[in-house]
Amino acid sequence: MIFFKPAAAALCLLPAALFAQDRTSAILVMDGSGSMWGQIDGTAKITIAQEVIGGLMTTLPDTMDLGLTVYGHRRKGDCSDIETVVMPGAGTRGAIATAVNSIKPKGKTPMADAVVAAANAMRHTENAATVILVSDGIETCVPDVCAVARTLEETGVDFTAHVVGFDVTDPKALAQFQCMADATGGKYLSASNANELGAALTEVAVAKPTPPPEPKPQKTRVFVVIGDQESRPVYDMALRVTDASGGVIATSEHHDFALDLLPGSYTALATRLKDEATTETAFTVTEGKPAEAKLKLPEFQAAATLLAPATAEAGATVEVTWTGPDEMNDYLDTALSSAGSDSYQTYEYTAKGNPVPLRMPTEPGDYLIRYVLSDGLKVLASTSITVTERSFGLNAPDTAPVGATIDVTWSASGYDEDYVTLAEVGSEGGSYLTYEYVTKGNPTPLRLTLEPGTYELRYINGQDASIGLSKPITLTDIVVTLDAPDTVDASEMVSVTHTGPAYDGDYVTLVEPGADAMAYLGYAYTADGNPLQVPAPETPGTYELRYISIWGDARILASKTVVVE
């Protein structure tokens, strides 16, 4: 059996030009066990191996330090019969050839321990180690050759075992050899004669080592914070990630982004566009670990100015001219002087334009108009404004019939959302029975409810539904009569005369007695004239003729019984 450490056998077969590299070390581990006296075509396997190795010694490059370990060559039945005959070094070719030719196979096959001895001779934990094992039989001393190979691979540097089975047919031995090669990243080949042995040694000797696995990209987070406030979003950023050579790997406009980076050294650079403040940090990506690069920027020192009137009426809209950073969601607001930056009365975004139309609070008093930076809700500028009380006037009839439309004359600023309303006495400002916006005109036409009683006419400040001014009004009931035949034929058009107000939407209908006020069968709108033609039902019976007025709810203003035959 032969162990040939790093590509020793192979390298000896390569042209000298290919070895113009750093020196390498190798050990040839020679099997001197008794089984090597077995013959192939009348020649002992030990003799074949001696001739092949002798040839290899004459072709190995001078850049390779080669040694020799032999086992089973001195004593029978001794698993410790392992000897490093020649230590790795330059100019050892002749000594190795002489030592190999002097081997007289005798003992067992402690090939696993021989590998360990050869590796120790090479100090394999510091130098690369490749072993070529040529064996004609199974390990006879160590129960688990694979475990030994794995241990050497795990503790050594680039340890590789190539195995050549020389005239081997035993399935257990073949499995043992294959396992050793697989465990260390080497090759397993089979040879049955001298030529095949030479060819196999040549192939494994020149075999290229298995390249290390490609490094895997790692998830990497790159993000920017303002001071120590990591939860605050940062806008208008330019981020760049470069590798160790300065090459740009990635760019982003987002303050927090993720990318896949190969293990290595990197630098992240962040620039805040509005003031060109920059920060950078170096970071390392390690395989198997997520990485992050955290960049800190100082607080943005923005400036702003405001120009606005010194006074304005409550609820008025004033034009405020401003200068400032105009960041996304920056805004102007009105606030009490004691209010924090997150408390306001009214506001409008700077994106609305310049000047910004800013609504005043509904309550009179002293306020501040402020420019608020959305990033951190920082007040950049403020100016004082006095909000004066609104004045209101209201003029309308003291009484009116139910359901009528009256003209309500008012004096006030007449903002778009203001309205006049009829409401229950003492109800809240937002409560109403009927209403009309003042944009309808002045006077404003207001339709009244259909129920008689005492109510309030109000001018409502639409900004907060507060009552600007109110006055009482009494709604009087109206008397409506219906004149029609007491008996009519089914499906006949019935002539009906009435004394109703004929408000918009009023109508006369025939329904079953006791039906809901909104029920109807045949009907006619009062706008169609007087008298009206109302169709009678197709089914004979007793019905109720009604005058209906609708404004919000329906109300029956008059009724009489009609029999349909």
Mean pLDDT of 309-335: 95
Query: Could you give the percent of the chain with pLDDT greater than 90?
Result: 53
* C-alpha to C-alpha distances, 508 to 92, 451, 557, nearest whole angstrom: 129, 19, 10
Residues 268 and 167 reside in one and the same domain: no
Residues 437 and 532 reside in one and the same domain: no
The pTM (predicted TM-score) of the whole model is 0.50
Asked if the structure places residue 283 within a domain, the reply is yes
Residues 353 and 399 reside in one and the same domain: no
Asked if the structure places residue 10 within a domain, the reply is yes
Is 226 a residue whose pLDDT tops 90? no
| Residue that is last in its domain, among 476, 501, 534 | 476
Residues 57 and 179 reside in one and the same domain: yes
Q: Work out how many domains the chain is built from and give that number.
A: 5
Is 437 a residue whose pLDDT tops 60? yes
Residues 141 and 268 reside in one and the same domain: no
What's the one-letter identity of residue 389? E
DSSP 548-565: EEEESEEEEEEEEEEEE-
Asked if the structure places residue 211 within a domain, the reply is no
CA atoms of 306 and 378, how far apart (whole Å): 15
Q: How confident is the model at residue 323 (pLDDT cuts 50, 70, 90)?
A: very high
Asked if the structure places residue 410 within a domain, the reply is yes
If one compares 176 and 104, the residue with the highest pLDDT of the two is 104
Residues 341 and 401 reside in one and the same domain: no
Query: Which is it for the CA torsion 232, 233, 238, 240, positive or negative?
Result: positive
Residues 109 and 240 reside in one and the same domain: no
Q: What would you measure as the largest C-alpha separation in the chain, in angstroms? A: 147
CA atoms of 347 and 535, how far apart (whole Å): 59
CA atoms of 473 and 300, how far apart (whole Å): 60
pLDDT tens digits, 39-98: 888 888 888 888 888 877 777 667 777 788 888 888 888 888 888 888 888 888 888 888
| Residue that is last in its domain, among 347, 380, 413 | 380
| Residue that is last in its domain, among 253, 268, 297 | 297
Is 18 a residue whose pLDDT tops 80? no
Residues 273 and 150 reside in one and the same domain: no
Residue 15 is predicted with a pLDDT of: 35
If you count them, how many residues does the chain have?
565
HEC letters along 317-362: EEEEEEECCCCCCCEEEEECCCCCCCCCCEEEEHHHCCCEEEECCC
Lowest model confidence (mean pLDDT) among 28-42, 116-130, 278-292: 116-130
Full residue range of the structural domain in which residue 14 is found: 2-205
CA atoms of 382 and 304, how far apart (whole Å): 9
Q: How confident is the model at residue 125 (pLDDT cuts 50, 70, 90)?
A: very low
CATH number at residue 404: 2.60.40.2840
Asked if the structure places residue 388 within a domain, the reply is no
Residues 282 and 193 reside in one and the same domain: no
Lowest model confidence (mean pLDDT) among 59-63, 155-159, 262-266, 329-333: 155-159
Contacts of 281 by beta carbon, 8 Å cutoff, 6+ apart: 267, 268, 293, 294, 295
pLDDT tens digits, 393-430: 999 999 999 999 999 999 999 999 999 999 999 999 99
CATH number at residue 544: 2.60.40
Residues 507 and 542 reside in one and the same domain: yes
Alpha helix (H) residue ranges in 38-124:
45-59, 93-101, 111-121
Residue 207 is predicted with a pLDDT of: 54
Residues 37 and 152 reside in one and the same domain: yes
Residue 202 is predicted with a pLDDT of: 64
Asked if the structure places residue 385 within a domain, the reply is no
pLDDT tens digits, 470-497: 999 999 999 999 999 999 999 999 999 9
Residues 498 and 459 reside in one and the same domain: no
CATH number at residue 241: 2.60.40.1120
Please give the DSSP secondary-structure letter assigned to residue 229: B
Asked if the structure places residue 457 within a domain, the reply is yes
Residue 204 is predicted with a pLDDT of: 63
Asked if the structure places residue 386 within a domain, the reply is no
